[in-house]
Structure 1
Amino acid sequence: MKSDQSFDRSSYPFNIPAIKDLQSLDFHPDVTFFVDENGSGKSTLIEAIAVAMGFNAEGGTKQSTFSTTRTHSKLHNHLKTIKSFKHPKDGYFLRAESFYNLATLMDETGYLAMYGGKSLHQQSHGESFMATLVNKLQGNGLYIMDEPEAALSPSRQMAAVSAIHQLVQENSQFIIATHSPILLAYPRSKIYSFSATGIEEIAYEDTEHYAVTKEFLNNHQTMMKILMED
């Protein structure tokens, strides 16, 4: 974060442990993941990065200027972004919680050709997400995503991995906040874990999402008995 601006570290979002002492983050040239529990600050930071890079806080491209409710924090004012010599020609902020608002705007304006030509509201949530990922994102871009798996079944999450890889092959970079152990398995990536002690890089197999999912699937009957005990 910028060191030349004063701010109250006891106020939100600067009182979030993962953000309070944040100095810098290095991003993988292909994919960087933010992971951990809700409230850990990962979505707050990814929102701030998107806004600092010129995207609408509610999602879309840098040309998406709509606003339904201004709820994003002022953290973006305290971030200093360092860009590489490569200038992305495309960009998009895909945010699960406000995608409905963006879909409404696309329907109202009729700007659907780049989304596959079909109303996003006339598709399931997962279908509209995939239509955006497959049709709207053109490559050679910076793509920021906040919990894209929210609308996706496991099989669609695997399809999303394939689409993400295709865009990486086309010189794109992703920054993704996620809970999905399927997305997190993408190998050309860096994973940052958010916790009460700050932000640290972590291996895929060391994430709680991987460990808990593996333990449950390997011992689901025992786990269900434990979970259903009176």
Structure 2
Amino acid sequence: MTRRRTRATVGGFIQRVWLAPNAPSGRYPFNLPAVAWLARSGGLTVAPGVTFLVGENGAGKSTLIEAIAVAAGFNPEGGSQNFRFTTRATESSLGDHLVLTWSTHKPRTGFFLRAESYYNVASEIERLDRDPGSPPLLPAYGGISPHERSHGESFLDLVTHRFGPNGLYLLDEPEAALSVRGCMAVLARLAELAGQGCQIVVATHSPILLALPNATICEIADTGEIERVEYDQALPVRVTRGFLDAPERFLRHLLSEDEG
């Protein structure tokens, strides 16, 4: 599998994500509006620090995060660049056709968190920790197997103990297993990591995570355009705020639809 990389001189580790000119078209995932936008726009600029991708279900956030991870050399199911297990191949072929423009400095470490397959990553962590030919692995994850923690606790252990300075981290909907307080804890940790020279790209629906100061929020429109937006204009924030301000108005509309 060929990894295309070009080099640039300033900014975060990954500076730009674009679609190779010879990429297929007309079939999934290349017919997704967001992927078509990458092809016609010349690509997506990725800022240093933390970048959030937001949009409706089906907009292509997770597909794009996964493809960036694969193009960067991470295991499609998650983990570090040293993880090479396969449980069930479900990734799209988009990662084989993405080109990443890299800066001249490389990340010291990295991790791809894919919420839906972290159970498989946890099993691989246990397997590697038991391998007599490998150094102990669990201390890097808080000293406890992720299988012996709740889903949310294992996510918090990961970002607290495994993530470190000058790292590249790609996160697909980390809020999936987190309580509100858990999201706040992750927000605080992301702020700390950003201050330690990390670059982090996160696909999320969480208005709490989006409140991270100095983060870049990129919203994927229904038509596929990816544009930077401010916190108050981001879709998860607008919809959540509207619901909390007047839940009865939303419920009246939603429940009348169900009854019809």
What TM-score do the two structures reach when normalised by structure 1? 0.95
With over 3 angstroms needed to count, the CA separation of the structure-2 counterparts of 1:208 and 1:21, relative to structure 1, is: closer
**Are 2:107 and 1:107 aligned?**
no
User: Aligned to 1:118, what secondary structure does the other structure show?
Assistant: coil
**Are 2:80 and 1:80 aligned?**
no
Q: Over residues 151-182 of structure 1, what are the superposed CA-to-partner deviations in whole Å (9 max), with x where a residue is unaligned?
A: 00111100000011111111111000001011
Identify the range of structure 1 (218-227 vs 24-33) with the bigger mean alpha-carbon deviation: 218-227
Distance 1:130 1:208 in 2: 25
| Equivalent position of 1:213 in the other structure | 240
With over 3 angstroms needed to count, the CA separation of the structure-2 counterparts of 1:3 and 1:92, relative to structure 1, is: closer
- Out of 214, 226, 229, which is 1:202 matched to? 229
Distance 2:165 2:214 in 1: 17
With over 3 angstroms needed to count, the CA separation of the structure-2 counterparts of 1:39 and 1:223, relative to structure 1, is: closer
**Are 2:64 and 1:45 aligned?**
yes
CA deviation after TM superposition for structure 1 residue 213, in Å: 0.8
Distance 1:203 1:190 in 2: 8
| Equivalent position of 1:132 in the other structure | 158
Distance 2:186 2:180 in 1: 10
> Where does the alignment leave 5 or more consecutive residues of structure 1 unmatched?
none
Distance 2:19 2:148 in 1: 44
Distance 2:20 2:65 in 1: 19
User: Aligned to 1:21, what secondary structure does the other structure show?
Assistant: helix
Number of aligned residue pairs: 229
Amino acid at match of 1:37: E
CA deviation after TM superposition for structure 1 residue 193, in Å: 1.3
| Equivalent position of 1:172 in the other structure | 198
CA deviation after TM superposition for structure 1 residue 90, in Å: 1.0
CA deviation after TM superposition for structure 1 residue 210, in Å: 0.6
RMSD (Å), alpha carbons: 1.4
More strand by share: 2
**Are 2:89 and 1:62 aligned?**
no
Amino acid at match of 2:77: E
Amino acid at match of 2:160: V
| Equivalent position of 1:11 in the other structure | 27
Distance 2:255 2:128 in 1: 49
CA deviation after TM superposition for structure 1 residue 2, in Å: 4.0
CA deviation after TM superposition for structure 1 residue 189, in Å: 1.6
CA deviation after TM superposition for structure 1 residue 130, in Å: 0.3
User: Aligned to 2:44, what secondary structure does the other structure show?
Assistant: coil
Distance 1:143 1:89 in 2: 11
Distance 1:57 1:44 in 2: 11
Distance 1:76 1:14 in 2: 11
> Where does the alignment leave 5 or more consecutive residues of structure 2 unmatched?
1-17, 130-136
Amino acid at match of 2:36: K
Distance 2:167 2:197 in 1: 7
Alignment of 1:136-155 (within 5 A): 136-155=162-181
Distance 1:228 1:170 in 2: 47
